Amino acid sequence: MLNNPDKVIEQTNNWIKSVVIDCNFCPFAAKAVMQKSIRYNVNEKAGLEDALMTLQEEILFLEANKEFETGFVIFPNNFSDFEDYLDLVFASEQLMEGLGLSGEYQLASFHPEYVFEGVSPDDAANYTNRSIYPMLHILREESLEKALSLYPNPELIPEHNIAFAQKKGLAYMQALRAACF
């Protein structure tokens, strides 16, 4: 059990920089890191209800603090089972819909055991969404749309990410993520 939120945030930052940015999985992440406009919330004791409450609080924080572009809710001690995590993602999307925030915010999901539907668990492509901890990434829809409008062929980003990860191979992607700790 991890009890040091600062260490969790440091490791998450390592993952963002060395995997998300250096592999160019998200061409917009570097700007948020450079501008220090990412908010981190480490929830160490989250069950489903507590996790949803934390997500709601984080969205309200982002609403009140526009200088933060995006936020991560990180669960270092819970939701290690991918199926339980998918239940959290589903419940989180329902919460956002119920709050009337579906068009304002979007969730991206990252998990250490992430597996795309129809893909082998050993496929390196899964590492485009395999983080070091289970986490929910809250994105401002307006900012995302603006960034995508400036990027040529944004619909090809997932294909490029998958091709990159598969070209590098499973061992490379595993080592890259492991180095974040």
- pLDDT for 9-42, tens place per residue? 999 999 999 999 999 999 889 999 999 999 999 9
- Tens of pLDDT, residue by residue over 106-164, are 999 999 999 999 999 999 999 999 999 999 999 999 988 888 888 889 999 999 999 99
Per residue, the 3-state secondary structure of the chain, as one string, reads CCCCHHHHHHHHHHHHHHHHHCCCCCCCHHHHHHCCCEEEEECCCCCHHHHHHHHHHHHHHHHHCCCCCEEEEECCCCCCCHHHHHHHHHHHHHHHHHCCCCCCEEEEEECCCCCCCCCCCCCHHHHHCCCCCCEEEEEEHHHHHHHHHCCCCHHHHHHHHHHHHHHHCHHHHHHHHHCCC
- pLDDT at residue 2 greater than cutoff 80: no
pLDDT at 168: 98
pLDDT digit string, tens, across residues 64-92: 999 999 999 999 999 999 999 999 999 99
50 pLDDT more than 90: yes
The pLDDT score that the predictor gives to residue 150 is 83
The pLDDT of residue 1 is above 80: no
pLDDT at position 149: 85
Of residues 157 and 2, more confidence is placed in 157
Q: Place 46 in a pLDDT band, splitting at 50, 70 and 90.
A: confident
pTM reported for the whole predicted model: 0.95
Bigger pLDDT: 147 vs 166: 166
